[in-house]
Amino acid sequence: MDRYAVIGNPIAHSLSPAIHARFAAQSGERIEYAALLAPIGGFGAAARAFFEGGGRGANVTLPFKVDAFGIADVASDRARVAGAANFLARRDGRLEADNTDGAGLVTDLRANLGVDLRGARILLVGAGGAARGVLGPLLAAGPASLVIANRGVEKALDLAARFRGAAVVEACALDAIPARDFDLVINATSASTKGEPLALPETVWRARPLAYDMAYGANAEGFVAAARGRGVRATDGLGMLVEQAAESYLLWRGHRPATAEVIAALRAGRA
């Protein structure tokens, strides 16, 4: 049986094993997909032990995505741009890194939520690892403008500078977001996860953008509720989670599983 795993810390509540079990069941494939807890500072050893023990592929979650990029023998362009990997595969004895988070977000927005990203005016809030992981694929989707707003403006400026060639990217501080119309507001901060409020100027909601939190479930509740309170459509990132998993499954196994039924099942399970 082909063996896969998601490696993180904490990991007990990861939905990835359930998602991949559903993908495999669709096509009658027999795979094993486990949740592995690696100690902080011990990701490299845990990952190497998994692959030396015959593991075919691993997803990597917080806080190890930068470490995963670091231990790979080869990395895809999108992992290099992100400086982080959520995907590892062993092929011909070499460890390959990729990053499927951005593709997962873009697919969820386009295919599941019907968002037309070409020409869209995007506000990306946050400039940490989560934001960096999705910026390349978001820009590749052809938005008209993309403003990166972060509490600490330096980090937003640094992130924007990585995409110097992209004329549509701007950076600003959270309290200096331009009073413009946005079509899409993405929360890539860890504020809700930490139970902290995310203070955004009211003008952000003026054009009734879709509000999207890259976290899911309880970790997205603060942002989603605040946006809905302003009368705008808002969603968490459960669809992104499933779509990044589908992209990983495709890279490992050569075909893309159906995602809508898996997203629906997870939402029903939660409710």
List the one residue from 129, 178, 201, 217 that touches ligand ATR (CB under 6 A).
129
Question: Which residue, 164, 174, 172, is CA-closest to 197?
Answer: 174
Closer residue to ligand ATR, CB minimum distance, 15 or 24:
15
Task: Write the secondary structure of 7-54 as one string of H (helix), E (strand) and C (coil).
Answer: EECCCCCCCHHHHHHHHHHHCCCCEEEEEEECCCCCHHHHHHHHHHCC
**Residue 220 sits in the site that holds ligand ATR (CB under 6 A):** no
Q: Which of 56, 65, 78, 121 is catalytic?
A: 65
For residue 254, with 0-12 CB atoms within 10 Å meaning exposed, 13-18 middle and 19 or more buried, which class applies?
Answer: exposed
Q: Torsions phi, psi of 255, nearest 5?
A: -145, 150
By C-beta, is 119 or 152 nearer to ligand ATR? Answer: 152
Instruction: For residue 70, report the phi and psi dihedrals to the nearest 5 degrees.
Output: -70, -30
User: Who's near 63: CB < 8 A, 6+ residues apart?
Assistant: 8, 9, 40
Q: Is residue 189 within the footprint of ligand ATR (CB under 6 A)?
A: yes
For residues 24 and 130, which CB has a smaller minimum distance to ligand ATR in the complex? 130
Residue 229: how many CB atoms within 10 A of its CB?
A: 10
Neighbours of 81 (CB within 10 A): 20
**Which H or E run contains 118?**
none
- Binding residue (CB under 6 A) for ligand ATR from 3, 80, 151, 256: 151
Nearer to ligand ATR, 76 or 190 (CB): 190
Tell me the number of residues near ligand ATR by CB under 6 A. Answer: 16
- The answer to whether 130 contacts ligand ATR (rule: CB under 6 A) is yes
65 in active site: yes
Nearest approach in angstroms of CB 163 to ligand ATR is 16
Question: In this chain, which stretch among 34-42, 52-60, 120-128, 227-235 interacts with ligand ATR, using CB under 6 A?
Answer: 120-128
Q: How far is the CB of 177 from ligand ATR (least distance, A)?
A: 12
CA pair distance 45, 49, nearest whole angstrom: 6
Least CB distance from residue 183 to ligand ATR, whole Å?
A: 21
Q: Measured from the CB atom, is 31 or 156 closer to ligand ATR? A: 156
The residue count of the chain comes to 271
Q: Which residues in this chain contact ligand ATR in the complex, by CB under 6 A? A: 126-130, 150-152, 155, 174, 189-191, 194, 196, 198
Catalytic residues: 65
